[in-house]
Structure 1
Amino acid sequence: MRVGLNCGNDGIAERDWYGVAPDAGQKRRGLDSPFSFPSKGTIDSVVVMALLSSILALRRDARILKIPPYLSALCLIVGIAWLLVLPLNEYSRGTYISENALLPGQVHTYFGGSEHNVFRAYRHEVFGLIDKPVEERSHKLETIFKEQNLKVATQKYNFTVSNRTIANENVYAILQGPRADATEAIVLVGAWRNMDNEINNSGVALVLTLARYFKRWSLWSKDIIFLVSGDSTIGPQAWVDAYHDAHDERYVEGLKIKSGALQAAVAVDYPAGPWGHRYEKLHIVYDGVNGQLPNLDLFNTAVQIASGQMGIACGIQNMWRHNDAYKVRLETMFRGMLSQGMGYATGPHSSFIPYHVDAITLQTVGDGWHDEISLGKTVESLFRSLNNLLEHFHQSFFFYLLLHSNRFVSIGTYLPSAMLIAVNFSIAAIALWVQSGRSTEPIANPASTAPKDKISDKPASTSSENPSTSAAADPGTVKEPPNPPSPAVEVIKKDGAVSIVPKSLTTVSERHLLLPLAFVLVLHFAGLIPLYVFNHWDEDHLQGLFLTAANITVVIPIGIAFVFFNNRPLSTQETTLIQCFSLLLLGVFLAVLATLNFSLSFLVGVSCIPFSFIRRTGSLGLNVALLGLMALLNPLLVMHAATYLLGGNMALILEKAAQGWHIWGLWTQVVVFLVWLPAWAINTSVIATGAFE
């Protein structure tokens, strides 16, 4: 049967309890009769309108806002768990060569014999240049290259970073391939000092020896460039910048001679002294600036030649004893992520990768029975494989995580973990946006579509249904029961169906966006101040500046909250919108960053996890406790604590960061000072406003 709906004076007459009025066609067919059955189309219309009313009502249902925190937590748990299962065999793969033209280890190497004596002679000559001035050292190296009938040139560079001048000189020579047309080249690098600031005595001597040795072969289809750089990072960066005409002539001298497009680069780090040193294994360093990586085929070729052809064990990420167990794989992966996330140059090879020149460094480690001849044979075989390339490296992966020298995880497998962390912030932002537009007018059971008399706590009185019966029971009563005031309603039409819902369900509170948007943008752009100061401050006082900045940034959010409290207190909606915009920007930044530098995105995202759940409350004590927790999450304090726990040197890290900004184009500081630190400051300021109320 039908139930009437009294809508007051809004002109809406009898309706069934679904809120759908019978149309004229239904009346002609007698469907308004209590003994008639509606058609299928009428039933579908009723169901659609019931669902529409329910969906509209969900906007005001308080239960809907209880879901996002659990959904965010689910994304975080799955994202972190996803990363932890990557070392398992089911989620990782063994390495393989994708470019068939490389043919690693398929050639017979001839380096040895008389070349061993030549190497020893060069090593003593290099040892004699250690205490010589830069100009005299460069002149001697230039003379050696000229004796081998190679084209030789030098390049000077002079940088000023953190009030410290860095000046040195590169020496390089070009071997024109007998079968080459000067359109492609391969680079062999021997830095004068390695990453540990040791004299790369045997490494430079090996470069000189291989230059003499390669000159005798007529099989080269590419030019070979031999580079002896002044140091391991700045010198190669100055040279490769000038090679691609991307240098600043105020600090870097241009190159006098060039060859063709660089296809690959291999650096040798062998700091053995004049009497030599036998090593145990090769440590292959592959991390580039800003987390960029060389093509996996180059790494796999070096590993296959060294371990397969020469019998030299290979290691990565300073893992000297790797038993291929889950724990060791996980540690190797985390070390690689930390190095990639920091983004600094890890060797001479790092400077080449931003120019899409795949490069690695071969570093000798340990005490064993391998000597310079085995290393020379490895480099020879590697260069002969690179000589076979018909086009640039492109077949294999450029984005990967290495678990071992022969096992990796591709981007399609590991990327979802960082994306889930980023999505968590977007979910929290959407929930805050919905919350900011909710009206304060309460509605009982807003998502229900049941009739009013069905959801009422008390059943409807029979007197209200049959007034005549009530009058018969009490003849003296002639007054009709008063009708409660009808709520404002709105007619919703969709696809020919009509539904009536209270206006409070469809009305959204006006959002005041100007102040929240301005506040978020100002704090994000304020990150330019520490970005500039840390990259231009005096090197000797960088660590003191860092500790001072860490203390100041803890106080700044409290000062911001105090200013607002005394001049213009923020409303609940405004604080909600401030956190909403902050988390939305954080989620977008991290999602984009994950495709460029997965490790940095993941590390920053994990550090920002509490921002998704910490909110301002009405309790003063709880707000103060949350404020203390946020103070411990200060990015500068987190970085200082992480450096201490990992045994790092904060002063050295700050120095390398400043060098990276001016020389390598490092943008890790941009993420820290323009994304992470502002997100923390914004959320901490919101919590601090609750402590003043």
Structure 2
Amino acid sequence: MALSARLLTLRHSPILLQLPPYLSALCILIGIAWLSILPLNEYSRQTYVSENAILPGQVHTYFGGSEHNVFRAYRQEVYQISQWSEEDRLAALGNVMQEIGLRVAAQPYRFTVAGEEVNGTNVYGLLQGPRADATEAMVLMAAWRNFEGKINYSGVALALTLARYFKRWSIWSKDIILLIPMDSTYGPEAWVSAYHSTTSEVTTTRNISSLPIKAGALQAAVALDYPVGPWGHRFDKLDILYDGINGALPNLDLLNTAVAVASGQMGIGCSIHGMLSHSDSYRDRLTTLAKGVVTQSAGQATGPHSAFVPYHVDAITLKTVGDGWHDEMSLGRTTESLFRSINNLLEHLHQSFFFYILLNANRFASIGNYLPAAMLLAGSFTVTALALWVQSGQVPVEPTAKIAGTGSEEQEPKLEVVKVGEDIALVPAATTKAAEREMLLPTAVVLAVHLAGFVPLYCLNSLHREYLPLALQAVTATSLILPAFTSTALTRQFKTSTQQIQIMQSFSLLLLGATLSTLATLNFSLAFVIGVLASPLSFIRPLPKATDLPFLRSANKQYLYNVDVAISFVSALLHAALSPPVVLCALCWYFGHDVEGVLVEMAKGWAAQGVYTSFVVWAVWWPAWVVGGIVMVSGAVGGAGRQ
């Protein structure tokens, strides 16, 4: 009976309602710390090839010898046609593919990005496998210009040389498609979207021409990025790019096969995210992990392969980096062995991981190890939301008695009789009582703020590029004013109560937590980054008045007024520093990127590739931040004083 009585006593204890902020902070700290322990050996593992049929590096490669002369001839020809007009260049590339013996086709496309028209034409050829039944195909890709805008001289020449070399072999059980897009972003996106769409879908929804020639289901795609001039240049390592659009990842077996072939068979070192001097220390692993999280959270294309991954086509880019002793023949033999491994597949890659974080080229953390980090951050918002919901349904009980004979204003301690099983216990009476919740106004405000998020989403993805910085400035100014204006309007027009403010914040945080927990299963990095940046929203409360602080009640009015002004100014400054546009500008400054360039890239991803990072920022994070500002300002304008 004593234990039951103690539990009933805790039911009315105010300590329980004081725990949620600490629980929320604990979830945030554990979530961040969780990610920091992943580089340890106990929480990560060595990579391995799950699909035994791939047999990486088990064949002898024959690319070399006379093919070196063919490559140099093609490289010189690529350099010559780079001086020609685009129309003549496309015709020359088509003629080279026809001479090789491929079925050649071209695909024009047009995108509208940031108010500008982007035009281009993809040239591709089909090599029909002697043993293929036109049901499966592999893609060998070399963009005319790589992701940095440099002409991919050696990459295009090597792709043409490999296509000519592959044509002579009768071992192919899959068709091989040689694709040369004009750039590394729009061209691959136009081609792969047309490949997986019907003619009506392509011409109706986007300005992309249908493909006159198609093969079977795409099994994998490998892009070559080797942008050296016609005189050649040796490289040190291969940097393997694997991030797809919206954080989608190719099957880990494809990366493991590329690493096994390059490092194990050819002796070429492999790097991830540009970490050329990886020492496999904890610090280097953590740095690689952080770079992967940042790249994946951005959701943008990192190479010509990125457009293929959302279509469930496993794709990577082999990028030459550094200055070493490896030449184009080493890269050619690596590509040959990789294609022969893919050719061994009897079905689509499926046995290995599709969700992972690489710590180096040979070590990774699986989804079961890293997913709790994002879930804990999302859970911190849910904990606070539930606590606010409970608080909104309770109001203090009015005092009804005084301590007899003393005349004191203190309330007399009350007890209530509670039956516990067969016994009766006296426990302290509740100091609060249930109250009916007024949910119409809070629901309308939260819904309106989330709908308002589509305004900056539209402006920053649709205006001409020269107006994007001005639009961001306007969004920033509006964002800083909107919470105070909305809170003042709600106070004067609707006389918002403390309960309505609590319900409003509860709904906002509950929606934020549910969205991030769902997003974590699709793009862990984006959910984690947004969760960290938005974590202070769990601790925002209406600003207190100076007269509400016990140690200031005896101060004079002028001093109290100055304290109120100081509290409001500091709180507004901290809240403004956490706003999405300010954080975006701060990140651009930290990473050394131009704000206009970042805005153009975001508009490019939204319009051309369906990147939803902008949607998460402006339709999920920004509304939660605005509601947090409304809650904070409500105390300063006196809107949270009515129960």
TM above 0.5, yes or no, is yes
The partner residue of 1:545 within 462, 468, 471 is 471
Alignment counterpart, residue 322 of structure 2, candidates 366, 388, 407: 366
Q: Does 1:654 align with 2:605?
A: no
Matched, 1:272 2:272: no
Whether the 8 Å CA contact 2:135–2:215 is kept in 1: the answer is yes
Question: Is 1:580 equivalent to 2:506 in the alignment?
Answer: yes
- C-alpha distance in 2, partners of 1:426/1:58? 22
Task: Identify which of 494, 515, 520 aligns with 1:594.
Answer: 520
Q: Give matches, 1:231-380, under 5 Å.
A: 231-245=183-197, 248-249=202-203, 251-380=207-336
Alignment of 1:599-614 (within 5 A): 599-614=525-540
Following the alignment from structure 1 to structure 2, what is the Cα–Cα distance between the partners of residues 436 and 277? Answer: 69
Could you tell me which residue of structure 1 aligns to residue 443 of structure 2? 517
Given the alignment, which residue of 210, 220, 239 partners 2:172? 220
Q: Quick one: distance in 2 between partners of 1:532 and 1:183?
A: 41
In 1, Cα distance between equivalents of 2:467 and 2:617: 20
After TM superposition, the structure 1 stretch with the greater mean CA deviation from structure 2, 129-138 or 196-205, is: 129-138
Distance 1:274 1:664, change over 3 A: same
One-letter code of the match for 1:321? Answer: S
Please state how far the C-alpha of 1:70 moved relative to its aligned partner: 1.4
Distance 1:193 1:208 in 2: 15
In the alignment, does 2:147 pair up with 1:195?
A: yes
Secondary structure of the residue aligned to 1:262 is strand
Change (3 A) 1:485 1:306: closer
> In the alignment, which residue of structure 2 is the partner of 1:447?
none
Unaligned runs of 5+ residues in structure 2 are 405-410, 546-563, 639-643
TM-score (normalised: structure 1): 0.84
Q: Which runs of 5+ in 1 are unaligned?
A: 1-45, 445-455, 459-483
Gap change, CA 1:266 and 1:66, over 3 Å in 2: same
- Cα deviation for residue 490 of structure 1 reads 8.9
Shift in Å, 1:328: 1.1
Offset at residue 149 of structure 1 (A): 1.6
The aligned counterpart of 1:692 is: 637
What SS class does the counterpart of residue 396 from structure 1 fall into? coil
Q: CA offset at residue 650 of structure 1?
A: 1.8
Does residue 629 of structure 1 match 2:574? yes
Distance in 2 separating the partners of 1:98 and 1:531: 42
Alignment-mate amino acid for residue 64 of structure 1: L
Residue 305 of structure 2 aligns to a residue whose secondary structure is: helix
1:269–1:362 contact (8 Å) kept in structure 2:
yes
**Which segment drifts farther, 345-354 or 547-556?**
547-556
**C-alpha spacing 1:244/1:486, structure 2 compared with 1 (3 Å):** closer
1:155 Cα offset (Å): 0.4
Q: How far did 1:628 drift?
A: 2.0
The separation in 1 between residues aligned to 2:490 and 2:82, in whole angstroms, is 62
Partner-residue secondary structure (3-state), 2:162: helix
Matches within 5 A, 1:64-83: 64-83=16-35
Q: 1:410 pairs with 361, 366, 372, which one?
A: 366
Offset, 1:689: 1.7
| Corresponding residue of 1:97 | 49
Match status 1:169 vs 2:121: yes
- Quote the offset at 1:56 in angstroms: 5.5
- Do the aligned residues in 2 keep the contact of 1:163 with 1:538 (CA within 8 Å)? yes
Q: What is the CA deviation profile of residues 539-581 of structure 1, one whole-angstrom value per residue up to 9, with x for unaligned ones?
A: 1221222122112211111111222233233211111111111
Alpha-carbon offset, residue 379 of structure 1: 0.2
How far did residue 54 of structure 1 move? 5.5
Contact 1:561 1:689 in 2 (8 A): yes
Structure 1 counterpart of 2:102:
150
Cα displacement (A) at 1:134: 2.0
* Corresponding residue pairs, total: 608
CA distance in 2, matches of 1:402, 1:488: 60
2:202 counterpart letter in structure 1? D
Amino acid aligned to 2:94 = E
Partners of 1:95 and 1:363 in 2: CA distance: 21
**CA distance, structure 1, for counterparts of residue 76 and residue 379 of structure 2:** 59
The letter of the residue matching 2:540 is I
- Report how far residue 220 of structure 1 moved: 0.4
- 3-state SS in 2 of match to 1:608: helix
Counterpart of 1:351 in 2: which secondary structure? Answer: coil
Q: Does 1:508 find its partner at 2:508?
A: no
SS in 2 for 1:238: helix
Q: Which residue of 2 aligns with 1:429?
A: 385
Query: Residue 443 of structure 1: CA displacement?
Result: 8.8
Distance 1:442 1:293 in 2: 60
Q: Secondary structure at the match of 2:230?
A: coil
Moved over 6 A (4+): 484-492, 494-503
Is the contact made by 2:142 and 2:179 (CA closer than 8 Å) also made in structure 1? yes
Q: Does 1:563 align with 2:493?
A: no
Q: Distance in 2 between matches of 1:539 and 1:191?
A: 25
Does residue 674 of the first structure (1) align with residue 619 of the second (2)? yes
How far apart are the structure 2 equivalents of 1:443 and 1:502? Answer: 14
Q: Distance in 2 between matches of 1:604 and 1:668?
A: 10
Deviates more, 1:571-580 or 1:541-550: 541-550
Contact map agreement 1:119 1:205 (CA 8 A) in 2 = yes
1:429–1:125: structure 2 CA closer, same or farther, 3 Å change rule? same
Residue identity opposite 1:222 in structure 2? K
Instruction: Note the 1:63-142 alignment, pairs <5 A.
Output: 63-142=15-94
Compute the displacement of 1:162 (Å): 1.5
Deviations 1:634-661 (A, max 9, x none): 1110111011111122211111111111
One-letter code of the match for 2:348?
H
Partners of 1:60 and 1:438 within 8 A in 2: no
CA distance in 1: counterparts of 2:167 and 2:129, whole angstroms:
9
Aligned position for 1:617: 543
**1:438 — aligned with what?**
394
Partner deviation per Cα, 1:489-514 (whole Å, 9 max, x = no partner): 7987x989988989857941111111
- Contact kept? 1:283, 1:362, Cα under 8 Å: yes
**Cα separation, partners in 2 of 1:576 and 1:212, compared to 1, 3 Å:** same
Q: How many angstroms does 1:66 deviate by?
A: 1.4
- Percent identity between matched residues is 53
Residue in 2 that maps onto 1:531:
457
CA contact (8 A) 1:623 1:687 kept: no
Q: Is the 8 A contact 2:54 2:344 kept in 1?
A: yes
Structure 2: distance between partners of 1:370 and 1:276: 11
C-alpha displacement of 1:603: 0.5
Cα displacement (A) at 1:517: 1.1
Give 2:80's aligned amino acid: G
Shift of 1:110: 0.4
| Cα contact 2:520–2:528 (8 A) shared by 1 | yes
> Is 1:210 the equivalent of 2:210?
no
Equivalents in 1 of 2:142, 2:64: separation in Å? 19
Contact kept? 1:513, 1:577, Cα under 8 Å: yes
SS of the aligned residue for 2:273 comes to coil
Using a 3 Å threshold, how does the CA distance of structure 1 residues 385 and 188 change in structure 2: closer, same or farther?
same
Partner Cα distance (1:84, 1:485) in 2: 52
Aligned to 1:638: 583
* Root mean square deviation of aligned Cα: 2.4
